[in-house]
Chain A
Amino acid sequence: MATVVEGGRDPSGAVTPRPQAPVSGPELANTPLVIRRREDEETVVTFPYLVWREFLAGLAAFVFLMLVSIQINAPLLQRANTSITPNPAKAPWYFVGLQELLERFPPIMAGVAFPSFVIIFMILTPYLDRNPSRRPQDRKVAIVLFTIYLCLAVAFVVIGEFFRGEAFNWDWTLILGHPGLSSPV
């Protein structure tokens, strides 16, 4: 929480009123000139406190990726061949949700209307959400709506990636394996 005070502050802590300069727009007139932190809010120097943490996080990410890269090779199939269509042909995993939508809805809805709607809605989010509070208990509607959106997005990607087999038909065997075989094929 920050306490907004008008005017500058001299080293003794007293607030000196700042002469009102002519401003053009209402936004400019309302811009807080000094943001003073409350005394009970504990602050730290970013260097080295924060920079050290960032370094450790980066190092951990690097080590993790290095181990993964040593162990698991990036996929490389046969040379590209337009006359051999793999079955199923799938988009990259983050677009597989979109492919799954196309399977269920008319193309104009799934390929155009839904994605445009999501992007426009995302851009407008801060302007549509007029609730000034950031506390979770005050924003139940926003949190529920966003959670539904996230769950749907993840669900469509998971279905497209793990439950769609030949010709993009529903296929349990991708994760469950064939009955009678000991391991998934």
Chain B
Amino acid sequence: MSATPDQANPVRAFVAQLWGSVFRHGLPTNDKVAARTALTNFFLHIHPVRVKKSAVRVSYTLCLGGLSFFLFILLTITGLFLMFYYIPSVDSAYQNVKDLQFVAVFGDIIRNMHRWAAHAMVITVWLHMARVFYQGAYKPPREFNWIIGTFLLLITLLLSFSGYLLPWDQLAIWAITVGTNMAKYAPIVGPYTRYLLLGGDQVAQGALIRFYVLHVIALPLIGFLLMVVHFWRVRKDGFTGGL
């Protein structure tokens, strides 16, 4: 009798089939398998199969673009947890944040991480822009991707700014008051812009719900869409590589 192990053991055969249906290739023991894995995996397909070694040196990219994306994901996940507790009403918002900080299990760590990751993302996106400029990586054919990147920087700032109001403490309301007062100085449209943003003349309930909706739905969606195009163009144009 010379039955193969798979025939002899139906459980093992099932596991093998299950594994094989999810991952089409074995471990990347050689370049050929590695290349096929990258080609057939949706998530890995964000990268080309091969890249110039000089283009992915840590000393060249400083990981800044990747870290910005990682922080965006981290902020999405921690933000989701915060949304379970947070109600965007001037009556309850502050107490919800207090509960997060002092009552909810790991609530303080999740909130702290959301806050510090947001500050970190402003810095990494800013540094990523500086890195791309100093390496002239915006030059043809990547002009338009630089423009998308500019808008991603603005979206990052607006995301951080809109989140700033949500704890509804003294820091939040006065930072947003000062910030939105700057909008008043634009000729003609200034006061209207401020009114539109705040849903009134003062930072009150109207402003809180507007900033909340912008923060958790509108801006992340726009940012995500811009990111998809940004990454797709990086993929199509190739990495710039060593100078």
Contact = CB atoms under 8 A, between A and B. Distances in A.
A112 to B, nearest CB: 5
Contacts of A43: 50-53
Interface string A116-130: 000100110111010
Given A74-B116, A77-B169, A45 B97 contact: no
A132 B139 contact: yes
Given A57-B70, A108-B187, A76 B98 contact: yes
B154 interface: yes
B34 A84 contact: no
Contacts of A129: 138-139
B50 A46 contact: yes
A79 B168 CA distance: 6
Contacts of B146: 125-126
Contacts of A91: 175, 178-179, 182
B142 interface: yes
Contacts of B101: 73-74, 76
A62 B178 CA distance: 32
B51 A65 contact: no
B134 to A, nearest CB: 7
Nearest to B171: A77
A50 B170 CA distance: 45
B135 interface: yes
B170 A45 contact: no
Contacts of B5: none
A93 to B, nearest CB: 8
Interface string B150-179: 100010010011001001111111110111
B130 interface: yes
B51 A46 contact: yes
Contact of A81 (B49, B170, B238, B241): B170
A26 interface: no
Interface residues of B, number: 86
B173 A94 contact: no
A74 B115 contact: yes
Nearest to B145: A126
Interface stretch (B8-16, B104-112, B210-218, B226-234): B104-112
Given A58-B66, A74-B112, A125-B146, A47 B47 contact: yes
B48 interface: yes
Contacts of A69: 109, 112-113, 116
A146 interface: yes
9 contacts: A45-B38, A57-B70, A77-B169, A77-B170, A82-B202, A90-B178, A95-B157, A112-B190, A126-B142
Interface of A: 2, 35, 37, 41-51, 53-54, 57-58, 61-62, 65-66, 68-70, 72-82, 84-86, 89-95, 98-99, 102, 107-108, 110-112, 119, 122-123, 125-127, 129, 132-136, 139, 142-143, 146, 150
Interface of B: 28, 31, 34-35, 37-38, 41, 44, 47-54, 56, 58, 63, 66-67, 70-71, 74, 90, 94, 97-98, 101, 108-109, 111-117, 119-120, 122, 130, 133-140, 142-143, 146-147, 150, 154, 157, 160-161, 164, 167-175, 177-179, 182-187, 190, 202-204, 238, 240-241, 243
Nearest 8 CB-CB pairs, A to B? Answer: A111-B185, A126-B143, A134-B136, A74-B115, A69-B112, A107-B185, A80-B173, A46-B47
